[in-house]
Amino acid sequence: MQYACLIYDPVDSPPPSPEEKQQVFGEYMKFSEDVQKAGVIRGGAPLQPTDTATTVRVRKGERLTTDGPFAETKEWLAGFYLLECNNLDEALAWAAKIPGAKYGSIEVRPLLDIPGM
């Protein structure tokens, strides 16, 4: 089964120093190598900050766009990994190793299996 591991970072955290940024980047590279070696990774990517987002809605057939996300939150979606795991316990074990779990949160959600998609 495939699981999305959604990485949330705190909105109000101070920006990391260049050294901290380099350390975290190294930790993410190591995690990415580990899931690749284990053969469980199916995709993933870091995301730009929320101020680069555009939200799209269609109402009465008309497309409406808004800068940024609609909801104000204490965390922002910073990236994701898509993992193929045997079960939820395995997905949770991998999620606990994602570096962002140390200062943010990782939401683990199974993908809906729709035949033909």
Q: In the chain, where are the structural domains located?
A: 2-110
Task: Tell me phi and psi for residue 94, to 5 degrees.
Answer: -65, -45
Residues 2-110: name the CATH superfamily: Dimeric alpha+beta barrel (3.30.70.1060)
At 71 the pLDDT is 66
Contact 50, 68 (CB under 8 A): yes
> Which phi and psi angles does 18 have, rounded to 5°?
-55, -35
Give the CA dihedral 28, 34, 37, 38, nearest 10 degrees: -130
Q: What is the pLDDT of residue 51?
A: 84
- Taking CA atoms, 34 is separated from 37, 45, 109, in Å, by 5, 15, 20
* For residue 70, pLDDT beyond 70: no
pLDDT tens, position by position, 22-59? 999 999 999 999 999 999 999 999 999 888 889 899 99
pLDDT tens per residue across span 74-101: 888 999 999 999 999 999 999 999 999 9
Mean pLDDT of 102-117: 92
